[in-house]
Amino acid sequence: MLDRYNRKINYLRISVTDRCNLRCHYCMPENDPCLLRHEDILSFEEIQQVVAVAVSLGIDKVRLTGGEPLVRKDIVDLVSMIAEVPGLQDLAMTTNATLLERFAMPLARAGLQRINISLDTVDPVKFREITRGGDIQQVFAGIRSAKKAGLEPVKVNCVIQGGPGEVDMEADALSVAGYCRENGLQVRFIPKMDLHTGQFGIVYGGTGGDCKQCNRLRLTSDGKMKPCLFSDLAFDIRSLGIQKAMEMALEAKPEKGTVNLSNCFHNIGG
């Protein structure tokens, strides 16, 4: 699929839940994040149909994200349903890895190929602060388990912090880079973004954040097809039909991101 600016769109990121077991301060409010009603969340069958239609239109790469994808009940079953879609080349997931130790092997067997893990520091105390309560040992165990399960390459997403009162950005980024080197992991540094003010930047070591190179569409967990992370445009697959919603999102894909006042990272998927 080519969009109006001649960008080849072959990548769909699917948010499978807006729930999360962590509360990273740059992503989710501590209390009462405004969460979707369970009945509005797409079923596995709906998600599988979206992937089938997407592949028929030219998508060959799918990433599952969230919220935290591993808190979605029976996520392994969803992975196998998606992996069955003929023509899909690449199936990946982005996770905080706190639950990955037990899920890595079943996910790999179900057809997950690759995994990205979010890790902003290797300091257990700072990790607990950033995530408001997370246990970094679970993440390390998850990473070991992902490697053992053959989910290669394991990539690490490190959001670069900044600003007064926040953790020491440089030291943390360096510590994560060192940890990744020692453990054979690829690392990408993501500048902290703000959907509501339109502040975003290029991902170092990755492909995100560069509008000229953008190859993605996004699906929210309640079935809105979004042409851009930094846009309020959204096309409802339930009312429009999957193919129509996807075609409209492609047609409406802006040349550049601006702002997104309707979503937060935890409900659009980062």
Question: Interface with ligand SF4 by CB under 6 A: which residues?
Answer: 20, 22-24, 27-28, 66-68, 96, 118, 265-266
Least Å distance between CB 2 and ligand SAM? 27
- Nearest approach, Cβ of residue 33 and ligand SF4 (Å): 9
Cis peptide before 153 (omega within 30 of 0): yes
CB atoms within 10 A of CB 192: 18
Question: Applying CB under 6 A, does 224 fall inside the site for ligand SAM?
Answer: no
Provide the residue type at 156 as one letter. Answer: V
Would you say 67 or 209 has its CB closer to ligand SF4?
A: 67
- Residue of 27, 17, 51, 10 lying closest to 161 (CA atoms): 27
Residue 48's binding partner out of ligand SAM, ligand SF4, none, with CB under 5 to 8 Å set by partner kind? none
Residue 134: φ, ψ to 5°: -70, 155
Output DSSP code: residue 191. Answer: E
Residue 157 interacting partner from ligand SF4, ligand SAM, none (CB closer than 5 to 8 Å by kind): ligand SAM
Please identify, using beta-carbon distances, which residue of 162 and 184 lies nearer to ligand SF4: 162
Task: Return all residues near 203 (Cβ < 8 A) that are at least 6 apart.
Answer: 188, 189, 190, 191, 209, 210
Binding-site size, ligand SAM (CB under 6 A): 19
- Separation between Cα atoms, residue 16 and residue 63, nearest integer Å: 10
- Is residue 118 involved in binding ligand SAM (CB under 6 A)? yes
Shortest Cβ 266–ligand SAM spacing (Å): 6
Q: What's the closest the beta carbon of residue 248 comes to ligand SAM, in angstroms?
A: 25
CB-CB contact of 147 with 140 (8 Å):
no
113 binds, among ligand SAM, ligand SF4, none (CB under 5 to 8 A by kind): none
Binding site partner of 23, from ligand SF4, ligand SAM, none, Cβ cut-off 5-8 A by kind? ligand SF4
Q: Which residue has the tokens 């802006």?
A: 254
Q: Which does 260 bind (CB under 5 to 8 A by kind): ligand SF4, ligand SAM, none?
A: none
Continuous segment of H or E residues that includes residue 177: helix 169-182
Residue number, 192 or 216, with CB nearest to ligand SF4: 192
Q: Give 53 or 103: the residue with its C-beta nearer to ligand SAM.
A: 103
Which of 80, 109, 112 minimizes the C-alpha distance to 94?
112
Backbone angles phi, psi at 118, to 5 degrees: -90, 125
